[in-house]
Structure 1
Amino acid sequence: MSNKCESEKFAPQHKSAFFSFIKSLATFKGDLASLTAPPFLLSPQSIVEYSAYWAEHPTLFCAPASESDPERRALLVLKWFLSTLKQQHSNKDDNGKRKKMKPLNPFLGEIFIGKWEDEAGTTNLVAEQVSHHPPATACNIWNDKHGVRLRGHVAPKVYFSGTVHIDRKGYSLLHIDKYDEDYLITMPKIHVEGIMTGSLCPELSGTTYIQSSSGYTAKIDYKSKGWVSGTRNSFTAKLFHDDRDEEPLYVAEGQWNGDFSIKKCDTGEVVEKFNVDSVPRTPLQVTPLEHQHPLESRRAWQHVADAINRGDIFAVGHEKTKIEQEQREMRKREKAEGREFPRRYFSRAKEDPIAEKLADGMKEETSMKGEMDGHHGIWIWDEKKYRRIQDNLRNGIKSPTRTRFDSGVGGIILDVKD
Structure 2
Amino acid sequence: MVTRSKDETKVVLTRPLSLDGDSEVDYRAPNLIQRLSSLFKNVRPGSDLTHFKLPPLFNFPKSHLQCYGETVYCIGSDMLSRCSLADNSVDRFTSVVAWSISTLRPPIFGVAPYNPILGETHHVSRANLNVLLEQISHHPPVSALHATDEEQNIELIWCQQCVSKFHGASVETEVRGKRQLKLLSRGETYEMNSPNLLIRFLPIPGVDWAGNVRIRCPESGLEAELRYGPKSFLGLRGSHKSVKGKIYETSTRRTLFEVNGHWDRTVTMKDINSGKLSIIYNAKDVFSGLKTPVVNDLQGVRSSESAVVWSELSQAIMSQDWEKAKEAKNALEEKQRELLRERESKGATWVPQHFCVTYSKDGGWDCSPTQQWVPPAPIVVPLS
What TM-score, normalized to structure 1? 0.76
Shift of 1:275: 1.7
What is the aligned residue count?
A: 348
Partners of 1:281 and 1:100 lie apart in 2 by 26
Q: Match for residue 69 of structure 2?
A: 51
Contact 1:134/1:376 (8 A) holds in 2: no
Shift of 1:374: 5.2
1:23-172 alignment, distance < 5 Å:
23-25=41-43, 27=44, 30-49=47-66, 50-57=68-75, 59-85=78-104, 88-91=105-108, 101-117=111-127, 122-161=128-167, 162-172=169-179
Task: Determine which of 222, 238, 247 is the counterpart of 2:228.
Answer: 222
The SS at the match of 1:326 is: helix
Partners of 1:171 and 1:90 lie apart in 2 by 21
Partners of 2:160 and 2:289 lie apart in 1 by 23
Matched to 2:61, the amino acid is: P
Partners of 2:99 and 2:226 lie apart in 1 by 13
Q: 5+ unaligned residues in a row in structure 1: which ranges? A: 92-98, 352-372, 394-418
Contact 2:269/2:280 (8 A) holds in 1: yes
Compared CA separation, residues 302 and 200, structure 1 to 2 (3 A): farther
Compared CA separation, residues 284 and 44, structure 1 to 2 (3 A): closer
Q: Match for residue 216 of structure 2?
A: 211
Task: Determine which of 241, 244, 248 is the counterpart of 1:240.
Answer: 248
Shift of 1:230: 2.8
The SS at the match of 1:34 is: coil
Q: Match for residue 333 of structure 1?
A: 342
1:305-320 alignment, distance < 5 Å:
305-320=314-329
Shift of 1:136: 0.4
Compared CA separation, residues 2 and 36, structure 1 to 2 (3 A): closer
1:21 maps to 2:28:
no
What TM-score, normalized to structure 2? 0.83
Q: Match for residue 413 of structure 1?
A: none
Structure with greater strand share of residues: 2
Q: 5+ unaligned residues in a row in structure 2: which ranges? A: 1-18, 379-384
Cα deviation 1:288-310 (Å, max 9, x = unaligned): 69532111001110000011111
The SS at the match of 1:220 is: strand
Q: Match for residue 378 of structure 1?
A: 366
Compared CA separation, residues 350 and 71, structure 1 to 2 (3 A): same
Compared CA separation, residues 329 and 2, structure 1 to 2 (3 A): closer
Contact 2:59/2:112 (8 A) holds in 1: yes
Structure with greater helix share of residues: 1
Cα deviation 1:311-366 (Å, max 9, x = unaligned): 11111111001111110110111111111223111111356xxxxxxxxxxxxxxx
Q: Match for residue 94 of structure 1?
A: none
Matched to 2:367, the amino acid is: W
Contact 2:56/2:326 (8 A) holds in 1: yes
Shift of 1:56: 2.8
Q: Match for residue 255 of structure 1?
A: 262
Compared CA separation, residues 238 and 137, structure 1 to 2 (3 A): same
Contact 1:78/1:218 (8 A) holds in 2: yes
Compared CA separation, residues 115 and 100, structure 1 to 2 (3 A): farther
Shift of 1:33: 3.0
